[in-house]
Structure 1
Amino acid sequence: MKNILLLTALSVSVASFLVSATTKEEDQYAYIDTPVKEQPSDLLDDDSDGVINARDLCTTTPEGSELDNDGCEYFIDSAQTLGLRILFTNNSYFINPVFKTQISNMASFLDEFPETSIELQGFASKVGQADKNLILSENRANAVRSELLKNGVEENRVTIVGFGDTVLDEKGSDEFSHAMNRKVVATVIGYKGEVKKEWTIFTKIGK
């Protein structure tokens, strides 16, 4: 019986010690309120792409396109190439009207791909003096440049270079070879962005 009373008294003493130990001033902690999450005020999704306006950096994404974390569509670059080849008569830089369509098409191409520019390369046949052929090749390139500018192409997007008779496609000395070497040529490559479509259960997978 004495042992029971002794154990009871000891338990009460320990409990009292623990209560007093946990209520000391140095063991008290300041109460911290539960953080409140800031909710964006604009929860609308104007382009219906699943990204709210508050987070959407591209608010006009095409319907069904695959998106990145900022709500912008992915693009696939597909290269398109357009060439220009204009022939001239001997000792002339007059552009035959038959080539005006080529120039017009090139102007439209440059308008469609505003990030591109073009270098017009002028050439001459191996007839006459080399120094005069160099000037002639530059005049031919400048003539084509002028026509492009008339079709709305900006000046800073068109440069010219004359090679004279130093570069010949046709090595012969006949009239056909000379005619093929009196020319202005150019090639432009543009990249048109195609939207990458979002995968759905109806998407076909290549075999």
Structure 2
Amino acid sequence: MSIVRTAIPLVLLTSVLTGCAGLQKTDWPKCAAVGGVGGAALGAIESSAWAGWGALLGGGLAAGYCWAHGDGDEDGDGVPDSRDKCPGTPRGVQVDANGCPPEPVAVVEEVVVVKEEVIVIRDVHFEFDSARLTAADKERLNTIATRLKQEAASARLSVTGHTDSVGSDSYNQKLSDRRAHSVTDYLVDSGVPRSSFISVVGAGETQPVADNATADGRAMNRRTEIKIQR
């Protein structure tokens, strides 16, 4: 009978401690409560006088065992410390199964390259009835030259001169051609590679963008266009 009384407490105590081992460290009060009940039962098997001491001893042992062998969650992210590969994660941060914040998804911004662009120059007026540039014309073209020199070396430039409808068609054709070449020569002298220019032509009065019947319309038609092909 004494062997049975000794064996049963050991079996029950082992069961209690084994059950506590699967709990979290933060659940040590539960371990203590379970251990206390188990300890009281163990003490009662021996003698009713031992029930209180059994509860105290069982509760203490169970709580200590749970704290020493339990799997805690120190950072409170829901992942046990034994599997947490990123301990110390701030509270409130979402984590994956390993306890680590998910890697941010890299956002790749697509660079949109404009394949073709046209620079319209309307405030280059030349000298009267001439293809010679004025001082104001050159100042304006300096800005254009700076812009074009920033283009890639592979950019292809096409320059087209345009006139209004005043004068004969043949005369306007020749005048627009001379003015297109005048603009191109100045840009080249300003540092734009001549090899970038694939076309320099005059369109005369054949491609108006406004009504030639008005002064404002004719001013808009007197223009030079630089097409950039990338």
TM-score under structure 2 length normalisation = 0.44
**Comparing both chains, which one has the higher relative contact order based on Cα–Cα distances under 8 Å and sequence gaps of 6 or more?**
1
* More strand, by proportion: 1
* More helix, by proportion: 2
